[in-house]
Amino acid sequence: MQIIRFPERHTWAEILQRPTFDHTALEAQVGEMLNDIKANGDAAVKKYAEQFDKVQLDTLEVPYSELRDAAEQISEELKAAIKQAKQNIELFHARQITQENIVQTMPGVQCWRKVVPIEKVGLYIPGGTAPLFSTILMLAVPAKIAACKEIVLCTPTGKDGKIPPVVLYTAFITGITKVFKIGGVQAIGAMAYGTASVPQVYKIFGPGNQYVTCAKQLVNKAGVAIDMPAGPSEVAVFADESCVPGYVAADLLSQCEHGTDSQAVLVTTSEEVLVAVESAVLEQLEQLPRKDIAAESLKNSKLILIENKRVAMDMLNEYAPEHLIIACSNDTELADQVINAGSVFLGNYSPESAGDYASGTNHTLPTNGHAKAYSGVSYDSFVKKITYQRLSQSGLQNLAQTIEVMAAAEGLDAHKNAVSIRIQNK
């Protein structure tokens, strides 16, 4: 971990730099793979599965019977946990359905919106370093609430060429029927362009590593909608003397264990907190089974001592973290000052793990500073809103002059005429 105290001589961009990699090379590699998948479909998908996942796949779709029977291989304890999480996520996301009203903007002029589910959606579930079955709940639950018609799920297999039963079980209980054992760029390409096995979708959702995120961004440029760039996990903790250093250390490590390119940041106004968190991190690291991964991403991570809370909040808003934990005595006041973050956790008893799994909020969130402009996944992500209007004859008359004057000023006489013709013929 890099320790930075009162960083006067550095710009915030220097202090808050995220792990870097060669974007040009990444885009070139991923772009080439996508072109191949577009041209050669299943054959290219299988070729890349062999190259990157070390598996030979005869068929790509998981038979429905495997989804149905997966429950037999899951402990009752795990099934109960998944069901509890699902219930909370359903509750939170179902409340996001809003009522659209008809608005009369002028007498005789009515406007309204209709909420329509996106018909065909693709869900990517990461599985390179760990099978993230919790992500199925985060994507399939809102997709089902929104009533998307066709839902396709892709996730990589393990080295045995199989998808873990817990992933299949979670897909089954969320009502997903089309599951493909495809990971990485192959999965994004297959869902974006369609192959003989994989149906083409209109919007692709889900987090993933740098290859997956780059592939989503490239297919987006080619016209397929995506939820957002949701890449390597990150967390920032803002802590004062009221924090429990051991808890803060645990939260930092919880994101570091996701992958070697994760990043954890502590911002504090207290030297004592900084020192205590650093030693708690080093102590807890030793106990982790994924110690090697976490140790690697700690190299990307920072402990920052800052002069006061106002500057700290400015810095955190500039960083725009995927997750922001505020472990400060005045957390409610500070929460109001958050402008850029994917998801915020308040107080000493709101670990990020709660949102990762089961509190009800969504864990698919913008990373790499994209929280400045993007929200995380929600019910809204799976619907679009079509506007409607009906003008009565007198309504059009009320608005006619406004439209005619504006159309004439833009030099668009046909637009003007479409109004005038109706008024004159009255």
Ligand X SMILES: NC(=O)c1ccc[n+]([C@@H]2O[C@H](COP(=O)([O-])OP(=O)(O)OC[C@H]3O[C@@H](n4cnc5c(N)ncnc54)[C@H](O)[C@@H]3O)[C@@H](O)[C@H]2O)c1
Ligand Y SMILES: N[C@H](CO)Cc1c[nH]c[nH+]1
Contacting residues for 112 by C-beta, under 8 A, at least 6 apart: 100, 101, 102, 103, 387, 388, 389
Q: Which residues lie near ligand X (CB under 6 A)?
A: 52-53, 126-129, 132, 135, 156, 183-185, 207-209, 211-212, 230-233, 258-259, 262, 322, 363-365, 367
Name the catalytic one among 234, 257, 322, 404. 322
Shortest Cβ distance from residue 384 to ligand Y (Å)? 25
| From the list ligand X, Zn ion, ligand Y, none, partner contacted by residue 192 (C-beta under 5 to 8 A by kind) | none
The residue among 86 and 309 lying less far from Zn ion, judged by its C-beta, is: 86
Shortest Cβ distance from residue 219 to Zn ion (Å)? 25
Say how far apart CA 170 and CA 177 lie, in whole Å. 11
Binding mask of the shown chain, residues 324 to 363, with x at each position contacting ligand Y by CB under 6 A: --------------------------------x------x
The residue among 135 and 268 lying less far from ligand X, judged by its C-beta, is: 135
Report the DSSP beta bridge partners of residue 111: 103, 389
Q: Judged by CB under 6 A, does residue 134 bind ligand Y? A: yes
- For helices 134-145 and 76-94, angle between their N-to-C axes, nearest 10 degrees: 40
Strands across the sheet containing 150-154: 178-180, 150-154, 120-124, 203-205, 225-226
Select the span of 62-70, 93-101, 127-135, 216-224 touching ligand Y (CB under 6 A): 127-135
302, 10 Cβ separation under 8 angstroms: no
Residue nearest to ligand Y (CB): 233
Dig out the tokens for 340 from the structure.
């850029």
| 220 is known to lie in a ligand binding site | no
Contacting residues for 414 by C-beta, under 8 A, at least 6 apart: none
> Other CB atoms closer than 10 Å to residue 310's CB: what's the count?
11
| From the list Zn ion, ligand X, ligand Y, none, partner contacted by residue 134 (C-beta under 5 to 8 A by kind) | ligand Y
Shortest Cβ distance from residue 19 to ligand X (Å)? 10
Shortest Cβ distance from residue 209 to ligand X (Å)? 4
Query: Measured in whole angstroms, how far is the alpha carbon of residue 74 from the centre of its chain?
Result: 27
| From the list ligand Y, ligand X, Zn ion, none, partner contacted by residue 131 (C-beta under 5 to 8 A by kind) | none
The residue among 195 and 364 lying less far from ligand Y, judged by its C-beta, is: 364
Name the catalytic one among 93, 234, 257, 323. 323
Burial of 189 (0-12, 13-18, 19+ CB in 10 A): buried
DSSP state of 347: S
Say how far apart CA 166 and CA 367 lie, in whole Å. 26
H-type alpha helices, 286-392: 291-298, 309-319, 331-336, 352-357
Nearest C-alpha neighbor of 212 from the set 29, 350, 86 = 29
The residue among 36 and 356 lying less far from Zn ion, judged by its C-beta, is: 356
Shortest Cβ distance from residue 376 to ligand X (Å)? 7
Selected binder of Zn ion within 36, 42, 251, 356 (CB under 5 A)? 356
Residues that bind ligand Y (CB under 6 A): 132, 134-135, 233, 255, 322, 356, 363
Q: Which residues are annotated as a binding site for NAD(+)?
A: 124, 186, 209
Residue ranges in contact with Zn ion by CB under 5 A: 356
| Active site residues per annotation | 322-323
